[in-house]
Amino acid sequence: MGRMDDLIHQWREFCAGRSEQDAWYFSGLLQGVTEAAVLTQVFASFPHADALEARALDVLQAGRWGNHLYLQPSYEGHAQARVDAARAWLDELARVAGLNGEPALQATLLSVPVVSTSSDRLEAARAMSAPSAYLHDVICAVVRDARTLDTVEVAALDEALYHLASDLYLGWYITQPLAPDAIDFAPYLTLWRLGGGSALVEDAFLVQE
């Protein structure tokens, strides 16, 4: 039995309640995966398994593995395409902020300009920006409050999906059927596919140029 086959077997035993593991143990469950048959086994024990599998395929088809540990965006669109995709993502986040008692954040998201910037400035903003951190906290709270299932298996699935592309929001795009009233992450997937890393700062929403 190969490493991946063994990990899938352990995953199935874990999801069936026949073994115990920490969530991090399955962080590599989907790294390098391309086959729908593997996804079928990964999601088989969860509600909305077919929808979860279809969304995982959406992400895989939006990316490429190459020689990378994490999935990479498959298409680097031109700057204006990334700006337009960022605006659509901001509109969705503003809608969610308004519905969840965040009028000031909603106003910011609706009015802030989208600005193309270097990858170095973007990475610095992601690490240091208070507005970006606050927005992230709001997104996390909305998703977790809307979850229809809260189990150790879902926690382990979150871990595996995060490590697919080292991206929490892509993981939540896949598990959106488990939080249907939260956030539509489809605009985020579009932005990611275009190579559009992003961060909210005091006076702009930065996207990679």
Same domain, 93 and 68: no
Same domain, 45 and 60: yes
Cα separation, 109 vs 191, in Å, equals 16
State how many domains the chain has. Answer: 2
Are 183 and 93 in contact, with CB atoms under 8 Å apart? Answer: yes
Strand partners, 201: 204
> Percent of the chain at pLDDT above 70?
99
Which pLDDT score, from 0 to 100, does residue 2 have? 60
Same domain, 12 and 29: yes
Cα separation, 105 vs 97, in Å, equals 6
Could you tell me the pLDDT band of residue 1, with boundaries at 50, 70 and 90? very low
> Does residue 134 form part of some domain?
yes
Would the pLDDT of 66 be above 60?
yes
Kindly report the pTM of this predicted structure: 0.93
Of 73, 88, 109, the residue at which a domain comes to its end is 73
Are 143 and 182 in contact, with CB atoms under 8 Å apart? Answer: yes
> Does residue 164 form part of some domain?
no
Same domain, 36 and 129: no
> What pLDDT, in 10s, does the model give residues 16-32?
999 889 989 999 999 88
Exposed/middle/buried for residue 54 (C-beta within 10 Å: 0-12, 13-18, 19+): middle
Q: What is the mean pLDDT of the chain?
A: 92
Domain enclosing residue 128, as ranges: 79-147+182-208
Would the pLDDT of 44 be above 60?
yes
Are 23 and 155 in contact, with CB atoms under 8 Å apart? Answer: yes
More confident residue, 148 or 171: 171
Give Cβ neighbours of residue 161 (< 8 Å, ≥ 6 apart): 30, 56, 170, 171, 172, 174, 175
Q: Is the dihedral of CA 70, 132, 117, 122 positive or negative?
A: negative
Which pLDDT score, from 0 to 100, does residue 95 have? 97
